C-alpha cells in the first residue's frame, strides 16, 4: 500500500498541532512523533509552510 502525500491544509494543521502539544509541555520530538512524521519532514514542512494561514495557502494555490 502506497503512502499518500498530505495536502497543504493538512500540513499546516499538523504544524499547528505540534505547536499546541509543545505549549502543553510535551517535548518537540514527542510532539512530532505524535503527528506521525519524522523529524526531517517536520522541519522541511516548517520551512515551507511555517507561519502560513489558510488564507495564505489559498493564495499560494491560486498562483
Measured N-to-C along each axis, helices 8-23 and 54-62 cross at an angle, to the nearest 10 degrees, of 160
Domain span at 17:
8-52
- Indicate whether 1 belongs to any domain: no
Model confidence pLDDT, tens digit, residues 1-13: 557 888 888 888 8
- Indicate whether 58 belongs to any domain: no
| Structure confidence at residue 63 (pLDDT) | 66
Give the integer Cα–Cα distance in Å for 6 and 10: 6
Q: What residue has cell string 519532514?
A: 41
Q: What is the pTM of this model?
A: 0.78
- Please provide the distance, in angstroms rounded to a whole number, between the alpha carbons at the two ends of the chain: 32
Q: How many structural domains comprise the chain?
A: 1
- Indicate whether 2 belongs to any domain: no
Q: What is the average per-residue pLDDT within 34-58?
A: 85
Amino acid at each position: 500500500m502506497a503512502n499518500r502525500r498530505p495536502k497543504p491544509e493538512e500540513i499546516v494543521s499538523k504544524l499547528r498541532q505540534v505547536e499546541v502539544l509543545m505549549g502543553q509541555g510535551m517535548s518537540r520530538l514527542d510532539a512530532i512523533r505524535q503527528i506521525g512524521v519524522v523529524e526531517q519532514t517536520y522541519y522541511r514542512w516548517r520551512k515551507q509552510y511555517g507561519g502560513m494561514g489558510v488564507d495564505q495557502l489559498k493564495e499560494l494555490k491560486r498562483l
